[in-house]
Amino acid sequence: MALMWRLIHKLNRLFRPERLTPARLIFAVAVAAGADGLQILFQVIPMVPEIIDVAAMLLTSAAIGFHLLLLPTFAVEFIPVVDMLPTWTGCVLAVILLRRREQNIQSPLPEATPPVIRVEPPPLEPGPPKN
Residue 3 lies in a domain: no
Residue 128 lies in a domain: no
The region of weakest confidence among 31-35, 39-43, 104-108, 111-115 is: 111-115
Residue 62 lies in a domain: yes
pLDDT tens-digit map of 39-83? 989 988 989 999 999 999 999 988 998 888 898 998 998 888 888
For 93, counting Cβ atoms within 10 Å of its Cβ (0-12 exposed, 13-18 middle, 19+ buried), the class is middle
**pLDDT of res. 79:** 85
φ and ψ at residue 105, rounded to 5 degrees = -75, -40
Non-local CB neighbours of 84 within 8 Å, separated by 6+ positions? 39, 40, 43
Residue 76 lies in a domain: yes
Residue 65 lies in a domain: yes
User: How many CB atoms lie under 10 A from the CB of residue 78?
Assistant: 11
Query: Domain residues for 66?
Result: 18-103
Q: How many domains does the chain have?
A: 1
Residue 61 lies in a domain: yes
**pLDDT of res. 26:** 95
Residue 130 lies in a domain: no
Which is nearest to 60 in space by CA: 9, 17, 100?
17
Residue 77 lies in a domain: yes
The region of weakest confidence among 30-44, 51-65, 115-129 is: 115-129
